[in-house]
């Protein structure tokens, strides 16, 4: 791209292939890029910026006939700023011109907003009144202007003082503290072409621009800067190690010096021009511009979603500590050597995790929620020493600890390392074998004891047991029978938490873009789980609260957090939850969890700790126990089937509230399927039939055409049965296959 075109066009990046462009995963399938087809046209669309519930961007599409003014130098219409918002599904809607009061017959955009979104800084050709001001070379240069929102109208348009009529100033991006403005300019004294500069605001005045130096700037053009809230600088350049076109680079400051820029690579960069990136606070979502092959127009807007974030933000101050675990025998209080201790770190207890696999057969109490995690797959294991002790090396967070010893019942406990406790004691009970009903004299093969009265049979395991006595009794053995119905070697549970009135549960998967209140697709994970919880416990009422960090005005933060809480409640209503059961409340910055107030200097991670969405239980019939079990295959016997529910197609005569959107079924080779098999693969249990039907659709789309819905369990939940098998091995293979297809499942027999 030639320098003279850059001066006039804000980098009009051309593309002539207009095929549809879909998602492009990286090799690890963690970042997905999508062409925003709802806003892209055969005109230029580029340089997005976050604004309220969507984005703004620049386009050469004429605002109306009055502003259909062609720039003859580039044979394009003058650029204008457009706005688009997201609908309930998170999709961008049809764009409309933004702030007609700012539209002129010269180029406008790109732009940036301060933290409050009440002040904007934007690029425009040098313009005063209705007159274009030419530089000495006869070209109308680009300049940076500011404007403030007053009564929802943008007024007081002013040119920033550092602009010079003979140089270009473009692509502003303001820092999160509102006191640093990054931009691109070809002013004299640079490294060559367009360089990146920063101006610092002192009081009410913007200072003299400072060149970011030769580590970033080169003889080529460095353009379209974006300064992230954590201080990371993103920009585009044809230099460094680019592919010869504009690539997106990233860099940070260390000890006041900018580090060598790193190329972001695929899928952000292509063989064509890639530029104008913006990234949300959590570094999971964002947008950028590209004229890569396969687009709709010339420059297109692309969105991206990073499954695990683009990078790990600076964490809260961490620590390492040693906790001593003592293992005792309940029978004699003796310490137990060589007990197997397995422990793993957990995220903070999240409602979404606790209720993803609600199952009536998983707990003794119908009100129990069961938290399933693969402790044996991602854990640290060791043995207690001769004194029955073992050190646990832990850091910040929560841990679950599992203790096992032959001849004892296993036990688990949860530890929060933030406490001052440095020593825990676990007491193991003797394992007296499998409990089996008997009424009377009992006989078993192996060593054991039996008590009972009357005539009856007692079933032991691999030992001898006999006994008689008064009343109903049990037969026990030292060695458990793994084939006995009712025995689950992995089901020993320990209370992790209790949900009761006043309980506050954080929803950790809800993220928002800057100045944004709309529900993003990745936020629906926790909200769907919350909806299932509220539908399962229909008398529960909640307050759903949203919190911001301290940056920005109190009025702005209160307004933004209230909008976010209301959007979350509205989403839950769309999932079938009655609105009267939920109160949306935006607290703004009034309930900070640390010292990061307006007068403190904090890291982005510390500010992020304050940005959260929480659920407070305001009404509940009875406390709900939340327990942990290992999610390995279970030997729990099936509860008697009390009713069967068949998945219905659209042609069903059932009521609309229970109708299913069954789609065409793909064929699958499931030769081991056995309709009379004892082992069922279950892909979820639901209290709401609509949610069960949604899961059934997903399972059938994966090719399991024998999938069905069964209603059973003490709470009469709807179980999505994927398939039946004669052996556990066959069922386990299907569970593993479903896991590879990102679908969780478990086995019941």
Query: What pLDDT band is residue 654 in, cutting at 50, 70 and 90?
Result: very low
Give yes or no for residue 645 having a pLDDT over 50.
no
Give yes or no for residue 90 having a pLDDT over 90.
no
Alpha carbon 600 to its chain centroid, in Å, reads: 28
For 181-200, write each residue's pLDDT tens digit. Answer: 999 999 999 998 999 999 99
**Higher pLDDT, residue 664 or 433:** 433
**Higher pLDDT, residue 32 or 370:** 32
Average pLDDT rounded to a whole number, residues 44-51: 94
**Which of 147-161, 384-398, 591-605 is least confident?**
591-605
**Which of 216-230, 419-433, 436-450 is least confident?**
436-450
**Residue 725, φ and ψ in degrees, nearest 5:** -140, 155
**Strand bridging mode 54-59 / 80-85:** antiparallel
**Higher pLDDT, residue 521 or 438:** 521
The closest alpha carbon to 270, from 247, 295, 239, belongs to 247
**Higher pLDDT, residue 374 or 339:** 339
At 587 the three-state DSSP class reads strand
**Higher pLDDT, residue 291 or 442:** 291
Give yes or no for residue 396 having a pLDDT over 60.
yes
pLDDT at position 544, please?
94
pLDDT at position 540, please?
92
What is the average pLDDT score of the chain?
74
Whole-model pTM over 0.75: no
Give yes or no for residue 525 having a pLDDT over 80.
no
Average pLDDT rounded to a whole number, residues 19-30: 40
Average pLDDT rounded to a whole number, residues 32-59: 92
For 575-586, write each residue's pLDDT tens digit. Answer: 899 999 999 999
For 271-314, write each residue's pLDDT tens digit. Answer: 999 999 999 887 888 999 999 998 997 899 999 988 777 875 44
* Cα Rg, the chain, nearest whole Å: 32
**How far is residue 535's CA from residue 529's CA, in Å, rounded to a whole number?**
10
Beta bridge partners of 59: 45, 80
The closest alpha carbon to 641, from 706, 692, 713, belongs to 713
Average pLDDT rounded to a whole number, residues 50-59: 90
Cα–Cα–Cα angle for 152, 153, 155, nearest 5°?
Answer: 135
**How far is residue 475's CA from residue 460's CA, in Å, rounded to a whole number?**
6
Torsion sign (Cα): 74, 78, 79, 82: negative
Torsion sign (Cα): 499, 500, 504, 510: positive
Beta bridge partners of 616: 504, 543
pLDDT at position 716, please?
63
For 142-161, write each residue's pLDDT tens digit. Answer: 999 999 999 889 999 999 99
Cα–Cα–Cα angle for 139, 142, 143, nearest 5°?
Answer: 130
**Higher pLDDT, residue 543 or 492:** 543
Distances (CA, A) of 105 to 62, 126, 353: 10, 11, 55
Structural domains present in the chain: 3-304 (2.120.10.30), 320-431+491-495 (2.60.40.10), 437-477 (no CATH), 501-619 (3.30.1330.60), 638-748 (3.30.70.1070)
**Over 135-177, what HEC string results?**
CCCCCCCEEEEEEEEECCEEEEEEECCCCCCCCCEEEEEECCC
Range list of β-strands (E), 280-422:
285-290, 300-306, 320-329, 340-346, 369-373, 380-383, 389-395, 398-404, 411-416
Cα–Cα–Cα angle for 341, 342, 347, nearest 5°?
Answer: 140
**How far is residue 11's CA from residue 171's CA, in Å, rounded to a whole number?**
10
pLDDT at position 367, please?
53
């Amino acid at each position: 791209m030639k320098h003279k075109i850059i001066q006039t066009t804000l980098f009009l990046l051309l593309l002539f292939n207009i095929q549809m462009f879909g998602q492009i995963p990286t090799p690890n399938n963690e970042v997905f890029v999508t062409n925003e087809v709802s806003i892209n046209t055969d005109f230029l669309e580029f340089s997005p910026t976050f604004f309220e519930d969507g984005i703004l961007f620049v386009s050469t599409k004429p605002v109306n006939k009055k502003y259909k003014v062609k720039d003859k130098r580039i044979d394009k219409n003058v650029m204008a700023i457009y706005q688009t918002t997201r609908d309930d599904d998170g999709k961008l809607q049809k764009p409309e011109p933004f702030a007609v009061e700012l539209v002129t017959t010269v180029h406008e955009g790109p732009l940036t907003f301060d933290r409050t979104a009440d002040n904007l800084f934007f690029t425009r050709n040098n313009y005063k009144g209705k007159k274009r001001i030419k530089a000495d070379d006869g070209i109308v240069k680009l300049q940076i202007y500011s404007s403030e929102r007053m009564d929802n109208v943008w007024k007081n348009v002013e040119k920033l003082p550092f602009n010079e009529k003979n140089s270009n100033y473009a692509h502003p991006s303001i820092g999160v503290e509102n006191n640093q403005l990054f931009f691109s300019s070809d002013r004299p004294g640079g490294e060559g072409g367009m360089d990146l500069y920063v101006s610092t605001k002192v009081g009410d005045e913007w200072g003299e621009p400072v060149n970011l130096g030769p580590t970033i700037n080169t003889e080529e053009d460095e353009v379209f800067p974006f300064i992230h809230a954590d201080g990371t600088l993103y920009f585009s350049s044809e230099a460094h190690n680019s592919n010869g076109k504009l690539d997106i680079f990233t860099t940070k400051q260390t000890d006041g010096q900018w580090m060598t820029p790193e190329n972001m690579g695929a899928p952000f960069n292509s063989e064509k021009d890639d530029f104008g990136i913006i990234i949300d606070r959590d570094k999971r979502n964002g947008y950028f511009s590209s004229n890569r092959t396969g687009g709709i127009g010339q420059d297109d807007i692309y969105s991206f979603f990073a499954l695990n974030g683009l990078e790990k933000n600076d964490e809260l101050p961490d620590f390492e500590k040693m906790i001593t675990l003592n293992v005792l025998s309940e029978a004699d209080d003796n310490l137990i050597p060589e007990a197997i201790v397995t422990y793993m770190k957990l995220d903070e207890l999240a409602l979404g995790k606790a209720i993803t696999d609600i199952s009536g057969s998983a707990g003794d109490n119908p009100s129990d929620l069961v938290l399933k995690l693969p402790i044996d797959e991602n854990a640290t294991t060791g043995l207690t020493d001769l004194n029955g002790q073992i050190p646990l090396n832990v850091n910040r967070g929560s841990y679950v600890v599992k203790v096992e010893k032959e001849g004892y019942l296993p036990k688990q406990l949860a530890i929060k390392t933030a406490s001052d406790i440095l020593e825990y004691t676990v007491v193991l009970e003797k394992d007296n074998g499998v409990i089996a009903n008997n009424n009377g004299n009992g006989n078993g093969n192996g060593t054991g004891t039996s008590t009972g009265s009357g005539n009856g049979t007692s079933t032991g395991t691999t030992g001898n047991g006999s006994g008689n006595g008064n009343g109903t009794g049990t037969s026990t053995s030292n060695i458990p029978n793994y084939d006995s119905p009712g025995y689950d070697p992995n089901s020993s549970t320990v209370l992790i938490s209790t949900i009761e009135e006043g309980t506050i549960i954080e929803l950790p998967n809800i993220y928002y873009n800057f100045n944004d209140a709309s529900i993003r697709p990745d936020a629906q994970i926790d909200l769907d789980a919350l909806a299932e919880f509220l539908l399962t416990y229909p008398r529960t009422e909640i307050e759903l609260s949203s919190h911001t960090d301290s940056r920005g005005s109190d009025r702005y933060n209160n307004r933004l957090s209230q909008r976010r809480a209301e959007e979350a409640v509205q989403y839950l209503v769309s999932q079938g939850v009655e609105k009267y059961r939920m109160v949306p409340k935006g607290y703004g910055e009034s309930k900070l969890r640390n010292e990061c107030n307006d007068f403190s200097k904090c890291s982005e991670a510390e500010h992020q700790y304050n940005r959260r969405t929480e659920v407070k239980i305001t009404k509940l019939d009875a406390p709900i126990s939340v327990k942990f079990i290992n999610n390995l295959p279970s030997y729990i016997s099936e509860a008697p089937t009390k009713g069967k529910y068949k998945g219905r197609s659209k042609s069903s005569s059932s009521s609309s509230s229970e109708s299913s959107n069954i789609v065409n079924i793909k064929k699958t080779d499931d030769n081991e399927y056995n309709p009379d098999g004892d082992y069922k693969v279950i892909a979820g249990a639901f209290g709401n039939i609509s949610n069960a039907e949604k899961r059934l659709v997903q399972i059938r789309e994966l090719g399991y055409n024998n999938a069905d819905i069964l209603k059973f369990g003490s709470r009469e939940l709807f179980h999505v049965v994927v398939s039946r098998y004669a052996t556990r091995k066959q069922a386990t293979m299907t569970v593993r296959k479903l896991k590879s297809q990102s679908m969780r499942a478990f086995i019941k027999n």
